Amino acid sequence: MELKFNNEKPLILDGGMGQTLLKQGMISQGTLWSASALLDGSLHQMVINAHQEFMKAGAKVITTNNFTVRKLRFSENNILDKFEEAMHTAGRLAKQAKQENTFFSDVHIAGSVPTRNQTYMANFELSKDEVLHEFQLTGNILNEYVDFFYLDALTSIEEIEIALKALSHLDKKILIGAHVKKNGLLADGNNIESLKSIIDQSNIFGVIVACTDQPTVLSVIEEIQRLGVPFGFKINAFANIPEGWKMNPGSNPIDSLGINKNFNEENFISFAEKCRAEGASILGGCCEVLPSHIKALAEFYKN
């Protein structure tokens, strides 16, 4: 299937799987967060249900639930031997959810290719060769399950370049999700326009600002316009992400990041319309953006 969308009929992405699973009753193990549901067979149906809730809400893209399937996380939880199994499970559950859905026939699966570093940070804790190999392994495993790859909240130009190199042998388009700080820059100090040369050389179909707050997205929207590809966002609804934040074992991120109390369905639609007025055509959510929010957005553009 070919992705079809434009500014008048934007592509609606899903919301945050991790927070949706926590609200459905998943208990996070250590620092595994959403990956906890991949390692416990009794929770696999919960993952399928969450994907289907987003599809039922109107999302035309669901994202594989492997944001925290990273060797850094699995090593600190002493389960590195389960890395590949968890990745396969994420792909398989997304594919099963899509095959069993009775809502739409044109849903696509995005293969999450998350940062190999700590979330929201640009510094490498693994060698560049290790990062390249892990990106390659992630792409090779997910390839059979997904329709395209989504670089999920990457924070530096160098890491994005490594990820694109790692996926270059696979014949799939790529959506770049760049996490931008409140200062309007990636965590490595580069701006969004630094992606221009990368986009011109790769199989990129779009760029979105990923897991970032609304004001930050609006502050960089003119820059992202100038990249010359479809663009948009996957915003979070956290209150604030402090510099250097790391997840505490066994916790829910909102324990330390809080919730944006002004965020609701009406607010989400209003923000989306501001972005669409600037040319955005890829709209979705991340942490604390739930099926109810995606439903409101999808119904607004359906009407």
CA separation (Å) from 189 to 77, 184, 194, 240? Answer: 31, 9, 10, 19
What single-letter amino acid sits at 1?
Answer: M
> What does the pLDDT look like over 221-269, one tens digit per residue?
999 999 999 999 999 988 788 787 777 776 778 777 888 899 999 999 9
Rounded CA-CA distance 232/230 in Å is 7
pLDDT of residue 43: 97
Q: Please give the helix or strand (H or E) that residue 276 lies within, else none.
A: helix 265-277
pLDDT along the chain (303 residues), means of 10: 84 95 91 94 97 96 97 95 98 96 86 93 93 98 98 97 96 96 96 92 92 96 96 92 76 80 96 98 96 97 85
Q: What are the tokens at 240?
A: 């604030």
pLDDT of residue 194: 95
The pTM for the full model equals 0.95
Q: What is the DSSP string of 225-249?
A: HTT-S-EEEEE--BS---TT--PPT
Q: At what angle do helices 291-302 and 265-277 cross, to 10 degrees?
A: 50
pLDDT of residue 1: 60
Domains of the chain: 11-302 (3.20.20.330)
